[in-house]
Amino acid sequence: MYDAVLFDNDGVLVTVCEFSVFLEATRRAFEGFGVDPEPADVEAVSGVADPERVREICARYGLDPNALWRRRDREATLAQREEVRAGRKRPYDDLDVVRSLDVRTAIVSSNQHETVEFLLDHLDLRDAFDAYFGREHSMAGVERKKPATHYVERAMAAIDADPERTLMVGDSDSDLLAARNAGIDSAFLRREHRAGHEPSITPTHELSTLHGLYGLVGTSAD
Ligand SMILES: [Mg+2]
């Protein structure tokens, strides 16, 4: 049994935004510097960005990567807040499972820390987690996101998690790889948007909903 659980945020606790939301936010960031970017460059900076690629793109447009990235993250967090307020980015129905688990819990997200914080406040979930870590609005934050272990390790330290008894729940290969890199077990959560996905990393467990956690950790009713 595990006594600490780390949760990815997007696609695990709350639904993911349409990619167009990020494309539009990124385009606004470029336009803020007076640049009319190529669609392929907007796409590269919008998604699960590769820091080298971001630097290469910025060099081409004569932009400071850190300045563009800060603006991109600011636009992305504002756009996501709007999606949350409009009910398009919303909690999954099984989210209450988290409250009933008798374990220490933390969120480890590659989304902006500010976005995670807004979600927790808006959804009245602050007390459902013992700690939460999103990404800093900087290129350093991009380098440190999963599959790197930086935020995983910070979260484990914050909730005093024993690696032998810690589980990472995620919907992406980067979650599973971050867990492997940190030496902890992983559970791949195969929600609807991952129906056909074959993870490149073999998870320790596979779940179809958060209810599957009841078989892996204790509940407060035990
Ligand atoms: Mg995710």
Q: pLDDT tens digits, residue range 74-86? A: 999 999 999 999 9
Beta carbons of 10 and 107 less than 8 angstroms apart: no
- At 50 the pLDDT is 86
The pair of structure tokens assigned to 78 is 């504002």
Region 151-174: mean pLDDT is 98
In a domain, 221, yes or no: no
- At 46 the pLDDT is 95
How far away, in angstroms, is 129 Cα from ligand 1 center? 17
- At 133 the pLDDT is 97
Share of residues in the chain with pLDDT > 90 (%): 93
How far away, in angstroms, is 44 Cα from ligand 1 center? 18
- At 48 the pLDDT is 74
Question: Which residues are within 8 A (CB) of 208 and not within 5 positions of it... i.e. 6 or more apart?
Answer: 189, 190, 191
How far away, in angstroms, is 11 Cα from ligand 1 center? 5
- What is the span of the domain harbouring residue 142? 4-16+89-215
Question: Which residues are within 8 A (CB) of 48 and not within 5 positions of it... i.e. 6 or more apart?
Answer: 110, 174
Cα 158 from Cα 216, distance rounded (Å) = 22
At residue 71 the predicted structure's pLDDT band, cuts being 50, 70 and 90, is: very high
Q: pLDDT: is 166 or 50 the higher one?
A: 166
Residue type at position 215? G
Clarify whether residues 74 and 136 are in a common domain: no
- At 155 the pLDDT is 98
- At 221 the pLDDT is 61
Structure confidence by residue, pLDDT tens digits, 93-124: 999 999 999 999 999 999 999 999 999 999 99
- At 92 the pLDDT is 97
Clarify whether residues 115 and 55 are in a common domain: no
Whose structure tokens read 């999606």? 83
Question: Which residues are within 8 A (CB) of 118 and not within 5 positions of it... i.e. 6 or more apart?
Answer: 77, 80, 81, 84
The pair of structure tokens assigned to 35 is 């640049």
- At 222 the pLDDT is 57
How far away, in angstroms, is 45 Cα from ligand 1 center? 18
Structure confidence by residue, pLDDT tens digits, 10-39: 999 999 999 999 999 999 999 999 999 999
How far away, in angstroms, is 9 Cα from ligand 1 center? 6
Q: Which residues of 112-132 are buried (b: 16+ CB within 10 A; e: fewer)?
A: bbbbbebbbeeeebeebbbbb
At residue 219 the predicted structure's pLDDT band, cuts being 50, 70 and 90, is: confident
Give backbone dihedrals phi and psi of 27, rounded to 5 degrees, phi first.
-60, -40
In a domain, 178, yes or no: yes
% helix, strand, coil for the chain, step of 5: 50, 15, 30
β-sheet with 166-170: strand ranges across: 131-135, 104-112, 4-7, 166-170, 185-189, 205-207
Clarify whether residues 113 and 201 are in a common domain: yes
How far away, in angstroms, is 37 Cα from ligand 1 center? 27
Cα 34 from Cα 140, distance rounded (Å) = 24
Cα 175 from Cα 79, distance rounded (Å) = 24
Cα 10 from Cα 65, distance rounded (Å) = 25
How far away, in angstroms, is 188 Cα from ligand 1 center? 10
Structure confidence by residue, pLDDT tens digits, 41-51: 999 999 877 89
In a domain, 193, yes or no: yes
The CATH number covering residue 176 comes to: 3.40.50.1000
- At 47 the pLDDT is 85
Burial of 211 (0-12, 13-18, 19+ CB in 10 A): exposed
Clarify whether residues 95 and 178 are in a common domain: yes
In a domain, 220, yes or no: no
Name residue 169's beta-bridge partners: 7, 187
Beta carbons of 4 and 162 less than 8 angstroms apart: yes
